[in-house]
Amino acid sequence: MRGIRIIQVGKVRKGFCREALGHYLQKITPYIQVQLVTVKDARNGDRHQKMETEARAILDRLTPQDLLVVLDEQGKAMTSRKFSARLQAWDEDPGRRPCFVVGGAWGLSDTVRSKADQLMGLGPMTLPHELAAVVLLEQIYRAQTILHGHPYHH
């Protein structure tokens, strides 16, 4: 696989989340390159204005190569094995690479959702955005171990 991009809104402020992100990034490295891109969270305006400011920052960082997978509570959840198969299928498209978007505290605007190639859910519960990034990285790691026959997923 050519790699994965993750665009997240806002710095990870919680120490335990920073530690977990580092842990999974280190575990993923032997399998695949993950580029973590952080866009600044909006501080001014109402909720809608903040989400639109963040949307512009996200969309400005996309490339034509990015296959946009937006994490969203309305997105389709899948098993770890199905996610693994999906990553493998995306890898077979030489002109695209998966680019996951994790919204900020206010969520994501319809502007970002409308550009998505896929809306993906991590489950029916709402997660803090910092924790959602950790869960995403753990699932990317798990998917890679499934693809490589490693016993992590048993």
* pLDDT, position 1: 53
pLDDT in tens, the chain (154 residues): 579 999 999 989 899 999 999 999 999 999 999 999 999 999 899 999 999 999 999 999 999 999 999 999 889 999 999 999 999 999 888 889 999 999 998 899 999 999 999 999 999 888 899 999 999 999 999 999 999 998 887 7
Residue 145, C-beta contacts closer than 8 angstroms, at least 6 positions apart:
31, 151, 152, 153
Query: How many residues are present in the chain?
Result: 154
Question: Which phi and psi (to 5°) does residue 100 adopt?
Answer: -90, 140
Domains, the chain, in order of start with CATH, read 4-147 (3.40.1280.10)
Question: Which phi and psi (to 5°) does residue 32 adopt?
Answer: -160, 150
* pLDDT, position 66: 95
pTM of the model: 0.94
